[in-house]
Amino acid sequence: METFRDILCRQIDTMQNFFDTCAEAIPRNLLEEAYGDYSGDDDENDPVTPRANHHHHHYPPVHTENGPTTPKDKADKSSFAPQYMGIDFRGEAVTFKATTQGVLTTLSHCIDLMKQREEQWQKRLDKEQDRRKRAVEAYKLVVQERKIQARIGGPDYEEGPHSIMKEEEFFDAIEAALDIHDEQDSERNTVRDNPDTLYARTICADTPPAEHKLSQQCNEKVEENIKYAFSKIESTWDLIHVEGEMKVYKSEQEIDGVVCDPLKATHTIRNVTSQEMCFTFWDVNVRMEWDTTLDITNTLEVLSQDTVISHQLMKRVWPATQRDTCFVSHLRKLDLSIQNTQDVGSWLVINFSTEHPKATSKCIRAKVNVSMLCQTFLDPPDIPIEKATRENLVCKIFYVAHANPGGWVPGSVLRTVYKREYPKFLRKFSTYVHEKCKDKPIKW
């Protein structure tokens, strides 16, 4: 546009200079030749009115800034003709036309861009208005529900001849109260149960856990994660991923502003046993083969043949700060025949954070509480276990994870990463175990 403006200004200045020069150069006597002689007093105020007598002409000199001009100066003034001034009117006209066309085209393009931008802003405005409308409606609904709850506490919303509650509302209130009572009774029964009794129920007689300084903590974590594995959270947690037999659930939670969403995943694979799955998950010697998020993993202390303390350094993902974990990893065989009579073998791995003097680093320390519980079933279920082949094996996986990454990472980022990485891990790990064990003898 600046170029077009310069061209147009230059053309206008050129033409204006030409016309100004022409106006100054035309002598007075040339005007009299074109329109006739002066008529004395009558034509004194009209110098271009022709007189009636065309036989006698008198051409008075024209006074200019350089003095009087006579007819002999006409030849000198011919030098002001366009061809002698170097002005090409045809070329200037073509250039002017092309320049104006370019200006119009550019303006049209600018107008189109402004319209597109306006449409985009209009769409964003519409979306924001829709969101605001939904937020206002949700707010009004919450306020209305709170008002209803406040009114329900009055005597008119209790049982009696003058109750104003409808039959459906009365039934729903009773049912909800009964559900709350059942949950409270279940919690009381859990508290009354002796932890040693719960611990004894899941110990496998042929493979008891070894004793060490953290045995009590391991027992508590085992019972806690068994409860999470078999709890019915599908109705209260959000289903965030479905892929074949795999289902991943989460519940949004924050601790001190940090996203700590607990996660539960269920999966079913064939041709492997629960022992093969859990032992591979626990074995630090092969951990780097399937966990590509690790930079370094070290075994700080071996507490027993089934329990170790590990220190892992995670790979840094820019712009996040690098993180590490120090945790107890415990492997245990379970007896879950009471829970499911068709279970032919169950194993559990728990990883929970701990402190250790050798676990030193400048990274942010993440806190974890992770478990993988696997059960082995036969298909068909009536086949003798000694005759079962890998084609008859069905392994059901329960994966539960509570992770606090520490530091400060936006919650939306963490939830997006969790939604992508947890299914990816479970899928990749299952494939790794399947390929690793397919040509080996079955381990129960």
- List the domain boundaries for the chain: 2-87, 198-437
CA angle 7, 11, 16 (to 5 degrees): 150
Q: What is the bridge-based pairing of β-strands 323-334 and 364-365?
A: parallel
H-helix segments, 42-88: 74-77
Phi/psi at 164 (nearest 5 deg)?
-100, 5
Which sign does the torsion angle of CA 157, 159, 163, 167 carry? positive
Cα–Cα dist 378/318, whole Å: 45
- Work out the pLDDT band at 39, boundaries 50, 70, 90: very low
Look at residues 70, 86, 81 and name the one whose alpha carbon lies nearest to residue 30.
70
- Which pLDDT value is given to residue 78? 46
Amino acid 259 reads V
Confidence check: pLDDT of 278 > 90:
yes
Residue with the larger pLDDT of the pair 81 and 273: 273
pTM above 0.85, yes or no: no
The CATH T-level fold of domain 198-437 is: Alpha-D-Glucose-1,6-Bisphosphate; Chain A, domain 4 (3.30.530)
Query: Which residue, chain included where needed, has tokens 């979306």?
Result: 127
Q: Of 179-183, 207-211, 406-410, which gets the smallest average pLDDT?
A: 179-183
Amino acid 414 reads L
Phi/psi at 32 (nearest 5 deg)?
-70, -35
Confidence check: pLDDT of 86 > 60:
no
Q: What is the bridge-based pairing of β-strands 393-404 and 67-69?
A: unpaired
Let me know how many helices (H) and strands (E) the chain has, helices first: 10, 14
pLDDT averaged over every residue in the chain: 75
Rounded to the nearest 10°, the torsion over CA 141, 147, 150, 151 is -120
Contacts of 376 (CB under 8 A, 6+ apart): 273, 274, 275, 343, 344, 345, 346, 393, 394, 395, 444
